[in-house]
Structure 1
Amino acid sequence: MNELSKYLCLLLRHQPEKAELDMDSHDWVSVKQLIDGVNRHSSYKLNRELLEQIVAEDNKGRYRYDEKHEKIKCCQVHSVSWVEPELEYCEPPEFLYHGTTTKALEAIEESGAIKKMARHAVHMQADISKAWQSAERCHKIPVVLKIAASEMNKDGYRFGVTENEVWCTEEVPVKYICDSVYTK
């Protein structure tokens, strides 16, 4: 089920065309079309019951249904160019945390900022344990960066938060990185 969940994220965050999904400008896709697309274009077998289970058990709260459970989306789309992220723009907490790897940290230091790259925004968490989940997702040395978000906001950087409490901004200059944590 974990592999199927990752595949759903791939479709809903990066490549809806792989399953011929008609995604709207806010990432919503018909549940029926998602199930049919997965079954037709992959080796996975998906039904409504299994999809409901994946959504309910997702520890990051990535998925959202509309009120009738006829449409589904991921709360933050990474790289689908025509999707406009639905963010609530507001003042962030004093500190936010960005999960990454030591290799990526080298690139961040070299470039002078955490960049959004092909994503719509840089993603951060108010909860350090959720940042660790992001940092540990690949087989590299994880690191969590503590970001002076309130200071950034005072300096004119805008912050938005998604429905599942992921904080987003365009970039984070290295001068706002307060600390790096390499172990839990």
Structure 2
Amino acid sequence: MLNESQEMSLSKLMSKILRHSPQDFGLSLNAADGSCTLDELLTVLVKEAKWFDIGLEDIEQVVRNCEKQRFEITGGRIRARYGHSHDKISYPAAEPPDVLYHGTNIKAAPVILKEGIQPMKRQYVHLSEGLHFATLAGERRGELVILAVDTAKAASLGVPFYYAGNEVWLADGIPSVCCSIFDNSDGGIGRV
């Protein structure tokens, strides 16, 4: 069983392989869903000196304990749920909840309120159903600001939404008129 530090280290390596550069590790992912078999991933991982003695149970532990639920195992296959920087993974369009949240920082918020949320270096804009994942995403970028996205307004403007699993939603971009600062002090949502 991996300790917390090992778990985090292995999770980062798995993200690098499954989300960013599988080809650098000699791994070919399924073009449709970005997956590979657990055995294929294990074969790649044990070639790394630090991980020569891990097993499938260690990979499963990382997937199970990853707070952001970055990975998904289905039918003996594993994939990163989102955040790919290699071939764009497609998801079926779905109808989101009325409001989704996006974590950002105090410097980026005014730009987003003017220009909208863009995927930047990612394939999609990442949104969440609850405040937990938005907070995790936004906290690492400086002073946290949570934005609320009016999904009905966005859909009326032609924005499709895709469900990536575990309360994470994706979009190609969100127009600024659909974004507001989430103000939890009175339980409401307001624009600055």
Task: Calculate the TM-score normalised by the size of structure 1.
Answer: 0.84
Where does 1:137-152 land on structure 2 (aligned, <5 Å)? 138=140, 140-152=142-154
| Matched letter for residue 128 of structure 1 | L
Q: Does the 8 Å contact 1:27/1:73 carry over to 2?
A: yes
Distance 1:14 1:101 in 2: 24
Q: 2:63 aligns with which of 41, 55, 70?
A: 55
Structure 2 counterpart SS, 1:129: helix
Distance 1:141 1:130 in 2: 15
Structure 1 counterpart SS, 2:107: helix
Q: Which moved more, 1:56-65 or 1:152-161?
A: 56-65
Q: Deviations over 1:66-98 (max 9, x none)?
A: 32x2x2101124311x2422x231222211101
Q: 2:46 aligns with which of 39, 54, 73?
A: 39
Distance 2:23 2:106 in 1: 32
For 2:104, the equivalent position in structure 1 comes to: 100
For 1:164, the equivalent position in structure 2 comes to: 166
Distance 1:6 1:153 in 2: 34
For 2:89, the equivalent position in structure 1 comes to: 84
Q: CA deviation at 1:18?
A: 3.2
Moved over 4 A (4+): 180-183
Q: Does the 8 Å contact 2:119/2:125 carry over to 1?
A: yes
Alpha-carbon distance change, 181 to 14 in structure 1, aligned in 2, over 3 angstroms: farther
Distance 1:139 1:63 in 2: 22
- The number of equivalent residue pairs is 177
For 1:14, the equivalent position in structure 2 comes to: 20
Distance 1:181 1:47 in 2: 45
Q: Does the 8 Å contact 2:18/2:80 carry over to 1?
A: yes
Distance 2:164 2:49 in 1: 29
Q: Deviations over 1:133-168 (max 9, x none)?
A: 2112x2622221111112111222111111333111
Task: Calculate the TM-score normalised by the size of structure 2.
Answer: 0.80
Q: What percentage of residue pairs aligned between the two structures are identical?
A: 25
Unaligned runs of 5+ in 1: none
Structure 2 counterpart SS, 1:35: helix
Q: 1:130 aligns with which of 129, 133, 142?
A: 133
Distance 2:43 2:70 in 1: 21
For 1:2, the equivalent position in structure 2 comes to: 8
Alpha-carbon distance change, 106 to 42 in structure 1, aligned in 2, over 3 angstroms: farther
Structure whose CA Rg is larger: 2
Unaligned runs of 5+ in 2: 1-6, 186-192
